[in-house]
Structure 1
Amino acid sequence: MHADDVSLQSLIGSETAADPAFVFDGTPVSRAEFSGMVEQTTAWLAAQGIGKGDVVAVWLVNRVEWVALLFAAARLGAVVAAVNTRYRSAEVAHLLKLSGAKLLVVEAAFRSIDFASVLADIAKDEVPALQELAVIGADAIPAQWPCIRFDAFDKPYPPAPMPQDNVDLPVLLYTTSGTTKGPKLVAHSQRTLATHANSVAKALQLSPRRHSLLAMLPFCGTFGMTSLLGFIAAGATVHVLDAFEAAPALQILSEHKITHAFGSDEMFRRILALTDEQRPFPHLRVCGFAAFQPGWRELAAEAEARGLPLFGLYGSSEVQALFSIARPSDAFADRIEGGGWPMSPEAKVRVRDTETGELAAQDVSGEIEISAPSCFLGYFNNPEATRDAITADGFFRTGDIGRLRDGAFVYETRAGDAMRLGGFLVAPGEIEDEIKSCADVADAQVVAVDLKGHARCVAFVIPAGTSPQQEVLTARLRERLASYKVPARIYVVDAFPVTDSANGVKIQRAKLRTMAMERIAAE
């Protein structure tokens, strides 16, 4: 394959240059216009001193600048670190420090998100590499770093010289949950992104005129970005929501006869709840969904009855979202399960028995291992974690439990203790470290429970001297963490339930979960 064929630029194509590539807030952007925006953004980045290997952190909602920055960074050999708009100061600081970002492109403001106040809680010496903020929507925001306006589309900058052969260098960093401190950064290249985008377009048999996507997932995560790139590769139109809200999603699905949408079970539940029509979306062909909440099977059955066809799928930051998806020919019960058929014909999936360490037979559960063109380059600046994640013969150890089934596979659950909160995979250690940094806390453990149909976390703390107040701890955590990570309950205990094993004393998280549910029930 020629290097040009696996660049991000190659996805834009030229045959359908006048067709809309995107519709942002009702405004169409043609492929030719988007190519021009990429040129302008490339020149703007170069004028800010961004070149090969430099990291630019992008902290934006879904807007055309986000996509233009990624494609422009690719042309310069630079790297985009994707920042979740729901992140708070501790998380933003961790990502900026770990990535070594020189420049942060940030929203001036968006709905209730006060970006400036989040940044105000980050000490300059926590993120020594950061030199400058580029603000979208204002000349500056109150900050301790110099600010410039992102004005790439408003005035001309001198064209940038293009370094060559960047398709295998890191171009995009996603955050992923570790089991210890903060998240790791998953590095992807133009080759891994573009190859997978083409696989998605081909596997879903997308055609430019017949198909369209409602992009309602954030571009900062692989679920939102992969679906976006797949539809760009297909030449199909993408209708973009800056951030998910059920009412505008419903309107776009209906008015624009959208054929494809990807999201969480909760997103589809909220959209369906807004309409009384028996079959409101006759044009929808595929709704790929991730099951994060209890009751997703019931939702899938209701959605099916109302003509909203849900398809189970599988993905991760490391192998990218839409790694696999169910097929229309699958029986309904199989179609809604996580897993499915890999998008790429070159992908290999196997399952390893966690007891014996041998490869498992069909229908036997074990850890899912994957080798595919969509696989990541490694964890950015973390060779040790990368080595641990890859088998001797080059398969990625997913940390997920599943089983093989007739050429497809079924995802069953996450191995270990990672929690699914607010639609994101979160390591307990990340929240525990923040709680332990609070006054009057000696130790903390966090578990996830089902609270009124939503996965929420509950914390148990051992006091250091005076017993800490739940209200004080909660207020502190709200300043430091995304809202979905803030514990719904904080219980003070004298000790955690433990068990002795050959490898030392282990905390019984299952016992903590039971304790949490009993206490909540008693309330």
Structure 2
Amino acid sequence: MSQNDRTLQSLLATGINGEPVFVFDGTAVSHADFSCKVDQAAAWLAAHGIGRGDVVAVWLVNRIEWIALLFAAARLGAIVAAVNTRYRSAEVAHLLRLSGARLLVTEATFRSIDFAAILADVPKADVPTLQTVAVVGVDTIPTVWPSIRFDAFEKPYPPAPALYGDVDLPVLLYTTSGTTRGPKLVAHSQATLATHAVSVARALALAPERHSLLAMLPFCGTFGMTGLLAFLAAGVTVHVVDAFEAAPAFKILTEQEITHSFGSDEMFRRILALTDAPRPFPHAQVFGFAAFQPGWREFALEAEARGMSLFGLYGSSEVQALFSIGRSDAAFADRIEAGGWPMSPEAEVRVRDTETGALAAPGVSGEIEIGAPSRFLGYFNNAEATSEAILADGFFRTGDIGRLRDDGSFVYETRAGDAMRLGGFLVAPGEIEDELKSCAGVADAQVVAVDLKGQARCVAFVIAGTVPPQQDAMIARLRERLAGYKVPARIYFVDAFPVTDSANGVKIQRAKLRAMAMEQIAGE
């Protein structure tokens, strides 16, 4: 594969003439339209001083501007840092600071999200590299940084050179959880993105005349972006929802005869609940899902009976989403398990026994290690974390526990360590704990995830200082500083945390904390 075949631009080469590449809220965007918008976005970026190696943070819902900016940045050799639309001030500040972004492209408001107000709560001193905030749809917003209108599609700018540069350099930064405060930035290149997109398109045997995609996951994460790029590579029309809501998704699925979609079990559950029809989606072929909620197996069985065939998946920011998938010819119980077969024929999965350090035989659980063309370059500006995650032979230590099957597939079982899956996102406890400890009157804090009314929620245990904190004030502060799914559903005050002594020091007994949380909740 030549260097030109590994650019994002190369993904636009396939498609049926005249067919749309995207449909946003009923508005079709053809290949020619999209290419024009990429040209315009590249010209706009260049006119505002963005060039090779510069970082542009994109904080938008699923809009055509998002994708155009990514392809435009790739043309200029620049880098896009994807900002989660559910982030609040502390998280936005961390990402902007860590990425070194010079420019932020955002919008003023969207539904209940007040982007401008959140940004106003970010101290300028915390983000020393940011120079300009560009806003889609309005001329300006109140901000301590110079604010301009993103008018790339509204007025002409001098054409930008098509540099592309080294396709193995960073072009997109995802966020991922760590064990310390704030997420790390996962760096991907045009080569890792484009080659994986082509692998997924081939593995799913996508064809523009037969298939269509409902893109209902956010572009800011690998789950949403990978599906988008793969179907773009195949020339398949992508119907986009700006942010997930069950009713609009259901309407597109039925009216547009959608064949493929990807999401969480809860998203598909909400869609299916909108109809009593025995088989509401007769054109559905592959609905890939990540299981985040209790009872997902029972739901998958119900969905199967109603013609919604769910396929288990595996992926991460580091190896990209849709890394693997269940097969249609597998037994139902195996098909819906997270894991499956890698999309790329060049990908390798192995399992290492966490006690002996030896590679594990099929059926033996251990840490999943992956070598693949979709693997990330490293953690942006974090060589130490990169060296810990990528082994000498190039395999990535996933931090996930799973096992191999005899047929060449694998099963993801659970996340190693203490990371929590909240709201569909992997969250480090330390991130929430640090915010709790910054609240007045809090001496120490620990958080765990529990099943609360069928949803994974965060519960906090707090040791008070000399002046006890006010719970309402703590919750209010956390809601300002963190995404809603990270805000504890309960806060319990304790005199001390349960601990155990080990050779490496005193360790918090998180299992005991979870049991304490469930006992308290049961008592309520």
Counterpart of 2:224 in structure 1 is: 224
What SS does the aligned partner of 1:65 have?
Answer: helix
Structure 2 distance, partners of 1:223, 1:39, is 26
What SS does the aligned partner of 1:512 have?
Answer: helix
Counterpart of 2:432 in structure 1 is: 431
Counterpart of 1:97 in structure 2 is: 97
1:197-228 CA distances to partner (integer Å, 9 max, x unpaired)? 00000000000110000000000000000000
Map of 1:347-362 to 2, 5 A cutoff? Answer: 347-362=347-362
**1:165 Cα deviation from its structure 2 partner:** 2.7
Letter in 1 for 2:380: F
1:57-109 CA distances to partner (integer Å, 9 max, x unpaired)? 00000010000000000000000000000000000000000000000000121
What SS does the aligned partner of 1:384 have?
Answer: helix
Q: Is the 8 A contact 2:314 2:321 kept in 1?
A: yes
1:447-475 CA distances to partner (integer Å, 9 max, x unpaired)? 00000000000000111112212211101
Change (3 A) 1:164 1:216: closer
What SS does the aligned partner of 1:394 have?
Answer: coil
Letter in 1 for 2:418: D
Counterpart of 1:187 in structure 2 is: 187
Structure 2 unpaired stretches of 5+: none
Counterpart of 1:501 in structure 2 is: 502
1:254-293 CA distances to partner (integer Å, 9 max, x unpaired)? 0000000000000000001010101000000000000001
Structure 1 distance, partners of 2:166, 2:119, is 32
What SS does the aligned partner of 2:110 have?
Answer: coil
Letter in 2 for 1:474: I
What SS does the aligned partner of 1:253 have?
Answer: helix
1:112-141 CA distances to partner (integer Å, 9 max, x unpaired)? 101111111111010000000000010011
Show structure 1 runs of 4+ deviating over 3 A.
14-17
Counterpart of 1:337 in structure 2 is: 337
Q: Is the 8 A contact 2:337 2:411 kept in 1?
A: yes
What SS does the aligned partner of 1:450 have?
Answer: strand
Map of 1:109-120 to 2, 5 A cutoff? Answer: 109-120=109-120
Letter in 1 for 2:352: R
Report whether the alignment pairs 1:170 with 2:197: no
TM-score normalised over the length of structure 2: 0.99
**1:164 Cα deviation from its structure 2 partner:** 4.5
Structure 2 distance, partners of 1:162, 1:34, is 16
Counterpart of 1:409 in structure 2 is: 410
Map of 1:262-277 to 2, 5 A cutoff? Answer: 262-277=262-277
Letter in 1 for 2:434: D
Letter in 1 for 2:80: V
Change (3 A) 1:251 1:109: same
What SS does the aligned partner of 2:39 have?
Answer: helix
Structure 1 unpaired stretches of 5+: none
Structure 1 distance, partners of 2:412, 2:15, is 39
**1:17 Cα deviation from its structure 2 partner:** 4.7
**1:166 Cα deviation from its structure 2 partner:** 2.6
Structure 1 distance, partners of 2:164, 2:431, is 39
Structure 1 distance, partners of 2:394, 2:199, is 21
380-389 vs 7-16, which deviates more? 7-16
Q: Is the 8 A contact 1:379 1:386 kept in 2?
A: yes
Letter in 2 for 1:348: E
Change (3 A) 1:328 1:14: closer
1:427-463 CA distances to partner (integer Å, 9 max, x unpaired)? 0000001000111001100000000000000000111
Structure 1 distance, partners of 2:209, 2:472, is 54
Equivalent residues, number: 523
**1:315 Cα deviation from its structure 2 partner:** 0.1
What SS does the aligned partner of 1:277 have?
Answer: coil
Letter in 1 for 2:191: R
Q: Is the 8 A contact 2:7 2:164 kept in 1?
A: no
Q: Is the 8 A contact 1:284 1:308 kept in 2?
A: yes
Map of 1:444-523 to 2, 5 A cutoff? Answer: 444-523=445-524
Counterpart of 2:159 in structure 1 is: 159
Change (3 A) 1:61 1:15: closer
Structure 2 distance, partners of 1:205, 1:107, is 37
Structure 1 distance, partners of 2:267, 2:14, is 34
Q: Is the 8 A contact 1:287 1:310 kept in 2?
A: yes
Structure 2 distance, partners of 1:395, 1:371, is 4
Counterpart of 1:198 in structure 2 is: 198
Structure 1 distance, partners of 2:397, 2:99, is 23
Structure 1 distance, partners of 2:185, 2:513, is 30
Q: Is the 8 A contact 1:16 1:31 kept in 2?
A: no
Q: Is the 8 A contact 1:97 1:127 kept in 2?
A: yes
Structure 1 distance, partners of 2:228, 2:296, is 24
What SS does the aligned partner of 1:288 have?
Answer: strand
What SS does the aligned partner of 1:412 have?
Answer: strand
Structure 2 distance, partners of 1:3, 1:392, is 25
Aligned CA-pair RMSD: 0.7
TM-score normalised over the length of structure 1: 0.99
Counterpart of 2:210 in structure 1 is: 210
**1:342 Cα deviation from its structure 2 partner:** 0.1
Structure 1 distance, partners of 2:67, 2:439, is 38
Change (3 A) 1:12 1:494: same
**1:162 Cα deviation from its structure 2 partner:** 3.0
Letter in 2 for 1:135: V
Structure 2 distance, partners of 1:60, 1:338, is 29
Structure 2 distance, partners of 1:164, 1:141, is 32
Letter in 2 for 1:72: A
Counterpart of 1:301 in structure 2 is: 301
Counterpart of 2:421 in structure 1 is: 420
What SS does the aligned partner of 2:223 have?
Answer: helix
Map of 1:231-246 to 2, 5 A cutoff? Answer: 231-246=231-246
1:491-516 CA distances to partner (integer Å, 9 max, x unpaired)? 11110000000000000000000000
Structure 2 distance, partners of 1:455, 1:88, is 20
Q: Is the 8 A contact 1:44 1:157 kept in 2?
A: yes
